[in-house]
Amino acid sequence: MPIAVTGSIATDHLTHFPGRFAEQFLADQIDRLSLSFLVDDLVIKRGGVAGNIAYALGVLGHAPLLVGAVGADFAEYHEWLTTNGVDCAGVLVCPDVQTARFMCITDDDMRQIAAFYTGAMARAREIDLTVLPRPDLVLISANDPDAMLRHTDQCRELGIPFGADTSQQLARMDGSQIRRLVEGARYLFGNDYEWELLRQKTGWSEADVAERIHTRITTYGEKGVEIVEPDGTVLSVGVVPETGKVDPTGVGDGFRAGFLAGVDGGLSLERAAQLGSLIAVLVLETDGPQDWTWDRARALQRLSDAYGPDAAAEIAGVVPA
């Protein structure tokens, strides 16, 4: 069975501020912060963490099962996902509310300030994984907190391996909730800031986390990714050089999708992270998290340039035409 991706499904409202956020904040008056940013464009895109990851997995030929809650306005998005190889049988449609909204401002440094309207996502806690087709792996990504907890508990009860991707919900959850989400994860995903915040809120040391999970995958932006294996081996993977920065929204989602596609295809952790890094940069170079396109020849050339011909040859065996 395919990978199941649980998490937010949303519409992204993306804007750009022609300046630097860092120049607008007064350190000695941060407690009185009150700012309005005049933005110079607005694009509306399909998004949500689970939507983005599922889309990328579908493009890469892995037919993921999408699990999340949406509103009455989902029909066009549903058609887009199914056309791109996503199974939407796990999506709960709530006709009395709207699909979640992600509202984001990005500055010239690619830093972001965002707000997220829950909408239908609050109903995701009603979804029961036990009645859905049994997948080989469930990714628990940012979602309604109660849904994340329920789905993690159900994975343990059913004996299904799961990936913990708390990401944006770390700010909302307390230490006991985060500990409950992480315990027993096959993979723990997060960026460097989230990794520090997770340890701070749980009170766990790096060794404590290692005792409770199988493999940790931490991204460091332009510095690449660090993978810590069960035996303590640390693997560092660099990035695929970018051709330009357009929009960072969904870059982490792209990495997760590429990594999971690689693992699902039988690649090593290193090769899977390299594929993840490629998808991440394709997202970065595109205006919107689901507007990048797959060009096999170009993709393999970029992998060869970044990691060598042997890496490209191995990854070629698991990516679509």
HSE-CB for 52 with a 13 A CA cutoff? 31
Residue type, 290: Q
The side-by-side arrangement of strands in the sheet containing 42-47 is: 42-47, 10-16, 100-106, 112-117
Known catalytic membership, residue 310: no
HSE-CB for 28 with a 13 A CA cutoff? 0
Q: 236-241, long-range: CB within 8 Å, 24+ apart, which pairs?
A: 237/270, 237/273, 237/274, 237/277, 238/277, 238/306, 238/307, 239/277, 239/280, 239/281, 239/306, 240/274, 240/277, 240/278, 240/280, 240/281, 240/302, 240/303, 240/306, 241/281, 241/302, 241/305, 241/306
CA dist., res. 139 & res. 152, Å (int): 9
Q: Is the distance from CB of 112 to CB of 105 less than 8 angstroms? A: yes
Burial class (CB in 10 A: 0-12, 13-18, 19+), 98: middle
Catalytic residue from among 136, 253, 291, 310: 253
CA dist., res. 101 & res. 105, Å (int): 13
Token pair for 91: 């999506």
Query: 184 in the Ramachandran plot: left (φ > 0), alpha (ψ -120 to 50) or beta?
Result: left
Q: Which residues does the annotation mark as catalytic?
A: 253
